[in-house]
Chain A
Amino acid sequence: MEIDMKIVEEAKKPLSMHPKKFALWLFMASVMMVFAALTSAYIVRQAEGNWMVFDLPSLFWVNTGIILLSSVTLHWGYISAKRDDLATVKLAVGITTILGVGFLVGQWFAWEQMVVANVYLVGDRPSAVSGSFVYVISGLHGLHIVSGIIFLLIVLAAAFRYEIHSKNLTRMEMCLTYWHFLDALWLYLFLFMLFNR
């Protein structure tokens, strides 16, 4: 092989990280901005007065527990994948998916609780906008949970094909990051609505 012996100064490899993981973080930043906008709209409208105060449905507490638990089970799956314990990966991701669906079902029943308490999406008096906000915010979060469940299903399918293991963690890691994010996002939204009634 012909070798060019010219010696030049070294061109350093610039800093970089995994492009897809990086893109996921950027996506989460934009999702965060949507909810930042909605919650600040909530505060701006609330500051104008004429604001109905009502108790959040008790099921929100249960659902918060469910989604926190689902984060734990997914992390369990992630640790198992790192240890190449593939059977546990399937189990853990499966449980997480079920918990995720359970959260969505729970949110639906929480809405029913609100309806029973005479809080509707479309209010009949000026102060009822507070109820509309709770429906829209929790509904949009639910939509993101749907996307998270789709991601979980993809990872679950991969786990059943034995594609999630210690040497192929990227998908699992991204799913974990996203699911933790959705969990933390709900926690923020729940506490926000709880303390800013």
Chain B
Amino acid sequence: MATTDIHAAQHVHSHDEHGHDEHHAGNFWTKYIFSEDHKVIAKQYLITGMLWALLGGILSVIFRLQLGFPDMDVSWLRPVLGGWITEDGKLDPEFYLALVTMHGTIMVFFVLTAGLSGTFSNFLIPLQIGARDMASGFMNMLSYWFFFASSVVMFSSLFLSTGPAAGGWTIYPPLSALPQAIQGSGLGMTLWLIAMALFIVSTLLGGINYITTVINLRTRGMSFSRLPLTIWAFFFTAIIGLLSFPVLFAAALLLIFDRSFGTSFYLSDIYIGGEALPNVGGSPILFQHLFWFLGHPEVYIVLLPALGITSEIIATNSRKPIFGYKAMVGSMLFIAILSFVVWAHHMFVTGMNPFLGSIFMLLTLIIAVPSAVKIFNYVTTLWQGNIRFTPAMLFSIGMVSFFLTGGITGIFLGNSAIDIQLHDTYFVVAHFHLVMGSASFFGMLAGIYHWFPKMFGRMMDRRLGYIHFWVTFVGVYLVFFPMHYIGIAGFPRRYYSFTNFDAFSGFSDLNQLVSIAAILTLSAQFIFLFNFVYSIFRGRLAPPNPWKSNTLEWTTPRFPQHGNWPGEIPAVYRWPYDYSKPGAKEDYIPQHIPYSETPESNLPHENELIKLETDQASGHVQEGHRPAH
């Protein structure tokens, strides 16, 4: 017999159907905690990411105290760190390693991957492409809660008596595989691996959603060539993550087998206390290959969203179209592709074949080309623009500065010969903290200042924003610029103390400067935190389009409900960068304004387009312009 369920219909376009003033009568739990609304999930990611950033920053200041002031008595930290402060008021050396490891893990994964992509991909993708929500709100919610679970596990590892993982954020075995080698490789490392497994699940759930949404849920007229650069960046980021995080999973899986089941994928010929371990036949280099196959793309997972966010902000606040839109997209694509074929430049000194090293060196140096294209386009967008120095704009320009100064040292490090001297020194630390850490962090801050009005309906305080920017900007350079010199002098990273070595007795003044600057930079973040929290409740009310921007998110109401637009989703008729178009009434024309409404500013080929369409369409009313009722 025939069936009774006729709910077959179409699930494809169901997102179009719940448009009209959806009243989510949900209770507190479904609205703020287990929400499927991409905007709420974005805020959850943002707040969690900010808490992690604060913790990661505090950890770094603790170990900077040790590096800058090795003779200092830090017993005043005992109420917080307890047994990690030794009898004579010094930081425990093993805990120092744990601090370095957790600082790296937290910043790279929890702040700049989850906090950055999680916040802005979630918030901006549906709003800027004109979608009601993500492709799967449920998966999106799961993504956040897997991240939350991962955060809880990672955070709890800080309180173990043996300490959290301490083998560096790259967790190279055998150090990370053997609890006999270092305390942190005990339960702390196990929790690290569990947390990262959950984190990978979260990233994949999120990434699948971002890609699906960008490809399938764009509004009418939103062709790929009209996507804002933010969306392009999030799209590439998600693809890179989808292809590289599973490889980290595989690497971690084999490490779990080595640690817990006695296999020997990475372990061989290890003697502890004169006794040989039973593990034989493994290859520690194998782990490095697998790890860096994720590890290098991860750098771009962190950086690309910042590049996208700043492209958008710089174009908006220069009141000029972005220079070289296609070159911007093309260079991001090229960077994304190259990121998969350069991983061995992290391994030049592992005894790899020098010929292979040359190939990886060549591929690495090629990344300078698309990066230079991007810098050029940023500068030419700013050039002769009618620049508005909002805090977001300042942070974006700061990002360009870090991307440049940090990127240039990448050209040194990418040379397999120079790398022999610079490998694992503070030069490397300075390089990646500028180009990846600070640049991405500034991209994130720029994004928060820029989209805060859309997130919370209020403006952040400009003056506090300026103070925050200048202190942070100067602070970051004061921290990382001297590190280049320390690195060229041969100071290795991850060392607890240099005072015991004659060769490293110099530069203690420089290290003090770095530590003081680090404390200064961290304190400036509290200005931001105050501004952020205060503005959520007491900030000036935001106008609908405070930055006079073109993208679709500014066409939503001040507090968009689940579904984003109360009526129909606006259609898109032009690219997002029609700023200061000659002849136009105002210096911006949003994406949803048709060419036929702006005859005064249309270019000849755009007029052709209208003529062509009106000939076809005359007489029949366009669907998109039936007034909502």
Q: What is A's interface to B at a CB cutoff of 8 Å?
A: 1-20, 22-23, 26-27, 29-31, 33-38, 41, 44-45, 48, 50, 86, 121-129, 132-133, 136, 140, 161-163, 165, 167-168, 170
Contacts and interface: CB of A to CB of B under 8 A. Distances in A.
B247 A37 contact: yes
Contacts, number: 194
A45 B286 contact: yes
A190 to B, nearest CB: 18
Contacts of A41: 250, 254, 265, 286, 289-290
Given A33-B246, A41-B254, A8 B625 contact: yes
Interface residues on B, range: 35 or more
Contact of A9 (B208, B257, B609): B609
B86 interface: no
Contacts of A16: 12, 215-218
Given A23-B208, A129-B264, 4 more contacts: A8-B624, A33-B244, A122-B263, A123-B263
Interface string B282-315: 1100100110010000000000000000000000
Interface stretch (B149-157, B166-174, B506-514, B593-601): B593-601
A20 B135 contact: yes
A127 B264 CA distance: 10
Nearest to A12: B221
Nearest to B221: A11
B596 A8 contact: yes
Q: Which of A124, A125, A132, A167 has most B Cβ within 10 Å?
A: A132
A17 B221 CA distance: 16
B624 A11 contact: yes
Contacts of B213: 19
Interface in B525-573: 571-573
Given A37-B247, A167-B8, A22 B215 contact: yes
A38 B250 contact: yes
26 contacts: A4-B625, A6-B622, A7-B617, A8-B596, A8-B622, A8-B625, A9-B596, A9-B610, A10-B613, A10-B617, A11-B221, A17-B216, A19-B217, A26-B208, A27-B204, A27-B208, A30-B204, A34-B247, A35-B250, A38-B254, A41-B250, A45-B265, A121-B257, A123-B280, A126-B281, A129-B281
Nearest to A52: B281
Interface in B578-602: 594-597
A136 B254 contact: yes
B24 interface: no
Interface in B468-498: none
B17 to A, nearest CB: 14
A163 B3 CA distance: 8
- Minimum-distance CB pairs A-B, first 3: A11-B221, A126-B281, A11-B571
B23 interface: no
B208 A132 contact: no
Interface string B67-87: 000000000000000000000
A165 B3 contact: yes
A126 B249 CA distance: 24
B222 interface: yes
A18 B14 CA distance: 11
B243 A19 contact: no
Given A8-B622, A37-B247, A132-B265, A125 B4 contact: no
Given A45-B265, A140-B253, A22 B4 contact: no
Given A7-B617, A9-B596, A19 B216 contact: yes
